[in-house]
Amino acid sequence: MYRANNVAYVWHKSPVQSLEDLKTKEAIIGTSGPGSGWYDLSILSREVLGLKYKVVRGYKSSSEINIAIERGEIHAQIVGWDSIKAQRPD
Whole-number Å distance between alpha carbons of 6 and 13: 22
Q: Which domains does the chain have, with CATH numbers?
A: 6-87 (3.40.190.10)
Nearest CA to 65 out of 13, 14, 30, 26 is that of 30
Residue range 62-66: average pLDDT? 88
Q: Give the pLDDT confidence of 29-47 residue by residue, as tens digits.
A: 999 888 787 788 888 888 8
- Taking 90 as the threshold, does the pLDDT of residue 70 lie above it? yes
Q: Which residue has the higher pLDDT, 90 or 20?
A: 20
